[in-house]
A and B are shown apart, each in its own frame.
Chain A
Amino acid sequence: MLEVKDLHVTVEDKAILKGLNLTINAGEVHAIMGPNGAGKSTLSAVIAGKDGYEVTQGTILFEGQDVLEMEIEERARAGLLLGFQYPVEIPGVKNIYLLKAALNAQRAARGEGEIPAPEFMKLVREKSAEMKMDPSFLQRAVNEGFSGGEKKRNEILQMLVLQPKLAMLDEIDSGLDIDAMKVVADGVNSLRDANRAILLVTHYQRLLNHIEPDHVHVLVDGRIVKSGDKDLALELEARGYDWVLEGSAA
């Protein structure tokens, strides 16, 4: 589904990713872990198309399409969706309005008509309930005055409504208490199916107790230095990133 080959990325002339390779197939959940500053968030940002990142080498293919040639919104419409670490506030724009505009934009790209209002309301109410969000959130301005946990739940709500093929979740666990973590994890787990893939970017292993990954990759200094299954995350938790560094240097 997603194929990242020899990806080199610089930010303001500073090399951040230095030859990253990653293949994600449908039905898989991948977790990218690594110390601060390793380039974890850069990877998902580049795939989503954020400005300010220069790809100097390498390719990103999504279902055979060259992602780097696509506009930001085209990537989203193709099914690549990024859940933000720090979702922005948009004053005066209702949450439900953004959801509807996004869903209809994606439907239009697939050649489908706008979703009928009753159907949309039913869908959104159902999904908000899954995320244990009061329906009043839908009427509030996007992320405005939301707590950290509410913002993260709102990100997952968008995923549940938009049903991406590849959901990229950047530090979705940061700032969550244990109850909110459970709700967010349940939401993410409900997205799991054979036709969809999930890419988790996280600093801590604890998220992976709730969302069990098929593959774990350790990103250090712009490269994936070690890959394994979920046990790798546990080992990292126990032994720290230095252990991987020593291992890879040896």
Chain B
Amino acid sequence: MDRDSPEVEDYEEVSVPEECELAEYDDAPAEAPLEGGGVEWRAGTSDRLTVEALRGTFGRPPVPSGFRMGQEALLFNQTACDYVVERGEEGHESAVIRVYGVTGEGHSVLCRVHGFLPYFYVAAPADWDESVLESFREALESTMAKFAGDERHGAADAVVGVSLVERRSVLYYRPEAEGGKFVRIAVRTPAQLRQAANLLRDGHVMRMPFELYDSTIDHVLRFMIDKDMVGCSWVELPAGSYTPLPDAALLSNTQIAVEVSWEWLTSHAPTKEWLRSAPLRILSLDIECAGRKGVFPEPDKDSVIQIACHVSVYGGSAALHRAVFTLNTCAMIPGVHVYSFDDEAELLQAFRNFCVAVDPDILTGYNIVNFDLPYLLNRAAHLRASRFPFLGRVRLARTQMRKTKMSSSAFGTHDSMVFSIEGRVVMDMMQVIIREYKLRSYSLNSVASEFLDEQKEDVHYSIISDLQAGNEHTRRRLAVYCLKDAYLPQRLMEKLLALTNYTELARVTGVPLDWLLSRGHMVKVVSLLHRKATRVGLLVPDLPRKQGDSGGGGDSGPQYEGATVIEPKKGFYRMPIATLDFASLYPSIMMAHNLCYSTLVRESDVKRLRPEDYVRSPLGHCFVRPTVRKGILSVILEELLQSRKVAKRDMAAATEPFLKEVLNGRQMALKISANAVYGFTGASTGKLPCMEISASVTAFGRQMIELTKNAVESMYPGAEVVYGDTDSVMVKFGDDIRLERVMALGAEAAAALTRRFPPPVKLEFEKAYFPYLLISKKRYAGLLWTRPEQHDKMDCKGIESVRRDNCRLVANVVSAVLRKLLVDQDVDGAIEFVKRVVSELLQNKIDLSLLVVSKTLTRDVEKYEAKQAHVFLVEKLRKRDRGSAPGLGDRVPYVIIKGATKDEKAYMRAEDPIYVLENGTPIDAQYYLENMLRKPLERIFSAVMKRPEQLFSGAHTRSIHVTAPRAGSGITKFAKFRLQCVGCRAAINEAELARLGLTGTALCAHCRQREPEWYRKTLHQAVALEKQYNALWTQCQACMGSCVQDVLCSNGDCPIFYRRRKVQKDITEAYATLARFSDAW
């Protein structure tokens, strides 16, 4: 995360003489011979696809000639900020802040901000005064020079300003020593800040160690805090305050490039008219690589064969431009610019020029951070396409990438790539979705089906090579597929309001947009804390960071007791259950008791306080009351919650849908941020952990839940708290009280109890469950009612298992059961339903796709230690056919089949679903019953019936189907299937039929008199199957967007795919049966 993180793996530098880079544009043709729609650019002409030429088609709207740069105010919506260290004319290094953004008219802006110096504080010894400062400065400077080992390099006058100031530390309330002396030290660059801070901390200056304050804050964030500028805000440069950048065209790729001194730049708070967003440009991309069979593409071997781009404008749903760059020819695609190349390096270069010409603010795609972008950069390096890695808005800045390891308590540890694409925010939808949603699978297929409710065509990469090797039409086919994969991330972004919500989160917490994805939760609170502290003259101490003991990963510092859970009284409640919730429990506790760093009193200082001036938490920690000093965390939380109220109110009043969404995004962002504050104080590896605060918060919480339970039960005789967790209690007021009454009682109880707690703690009654199925801790389901007329929805917690190793059948059955239990209140119906499913499973009547489990092969087969089904299957498939077996990174779908003997473990019995379909391999129905369905269903039914195990035994389990494979290995290869009578399934005795003079072998002698009836039935079946097949085929064609080409999809996550294969096989069988009828038919 740090800029100077040790695991930097810099992208291999390719040395390019700078002239070459600049020469690139000199030969740009003046004319832009491009027109919209279906243009095919022949191979070999790519040298004409310069940035200038492409701008003609794809560029931003031109800046009107009337705009008098420098003389009118410049207003733009900033999207990204960074800084660059430059050497000025006088030989000093300085850090220039660069703010990137877009004006309301859609013109891109680069604004270079000069003069903002990095600074930090150290605690000054009590006897220091102004007279010491100069010698301190000299001592610091000379120590820095000595340690830098290079006096020429500006270190000699690195320390620009030293001043004595009065401030307080944010940590601890000290009864008498209010206000303290601190030295504010300003240097020229962030690197010098780091150096100076370390030297001071370690006692190298004036032979004494200094305590550091505000020293670890990122330079960009420091600037934003001091300018009161939040992420994605509108920035204004007053008329006359700024100047156009000299040589703008040589230095930047933006339309407007200006310079300003930092004092002049102002930022508008994101309210009212500054809530809107500029028309940001979003470029979504997807690449295809030529894969070799069985190997994942490697950039030093496999070429990039296609790059598809989908350009859109934020807020507008239609595509602005669509383009695809292909290696080798490609037939025209309506509405898409197709550019074909013979040379791959030219293709990459054309894409790079396209990217610069489009000048997007947001780069998106699916898994572009860890696949597409690194692949392109590595491939370009391999091909020595030296002009490629310049994708940003600063012309001479090479696009770099490095690996980082991000550890966060909320998101776990991930290896990820970080890019420096100046001025463009990389917003990988895969990362967004992984952060925000818990899903069975994060493949684009399943994400698309989850959120967009559509299946996605999945062309296996072994087929991709075949398509590429075909003709211009097969390559067109591939291009269409690739374009769709570029389009989907953009649609996901739109559907999930990802950009809207992240923009609001950036605005609320004040961090730059791209930090939200590249960093953890903590940075948001750091930003909030510093912003508030700076304003009230508090400094944040830089405690030595606790490093997690290497090896002992589970050891995360001192533990404290978490939230309380009232033991659930399991059961199926057919009467309304009222839910009393504490609104924003933890934030309101922190506000109510004024819990903060700045109000915490050291135990030794407590006796010097008057008893009425402090509160003692249930754990014995003392915090002063707000009358003495108001904690800044309380202030932050108050503001956040107040803003949330405003946002909610405005949202209710808003009429424009887009504004409503923005405001909804904002109120959610505010809620998330408020809750993150508590987490920040409790994160032992965080920046400023304070267990006294976090442990006190949970202790107050536990006390309040207990109190609520007791109070409700004593206030309402007969009432019973059936369950309670963290911030809510579930109350049963009585056995036959009507919903309206329960709602009234709930509201009354909430109001009465709220009065018992210190404000702003508020107990709310918002919903009742009726009926309510309480299974165990954190697992319950019910119909949720907020008003007595109609229930709002079915609410399930902890039931619908999102575990990926579950098959779809489980989720389907569980949700159907819940619907029957809760909506229809039909317990018998639910039982019958489960029995029917069990019975169908045993009779092999369940759609195979519902039984498929799929897992990704995340490392080499040899590297798996534990035996896992999908790994075992891959080994099996490799033996069968090395070429088509799944490779690293592939999803491996499987079903569990019956074992040959009893001692075969389940993982050994995993089989490819297609193989199962084609060979009629028997599914292990018992496995699915015992290991998949049984537990979740018994859990649910344990609340409504005495012996839920009855669901899995009894008459309905005594009808089974024993499949016999038609082809394949084993004994069936040698056996002959005896024909069975279509009517009664008795074996057909052909000799007997012949003796009776009957032709055809479909029916036995007994069933002959009903031959017309059976023929009609069989024919109907065949026709029905054909219809079904046609419907499925049509669906697949619709999905791939063409009805004249073969469907190539092999999407193992798609139920349609399996059904198509199954029906195909059934049709063949149905026709074979038809053919057995006598000649008369």
Does A pair with B? no
Report A's interface with B, CB cutoff 8 A: none
Report B's interface with A, CB cutoff 8 A: none
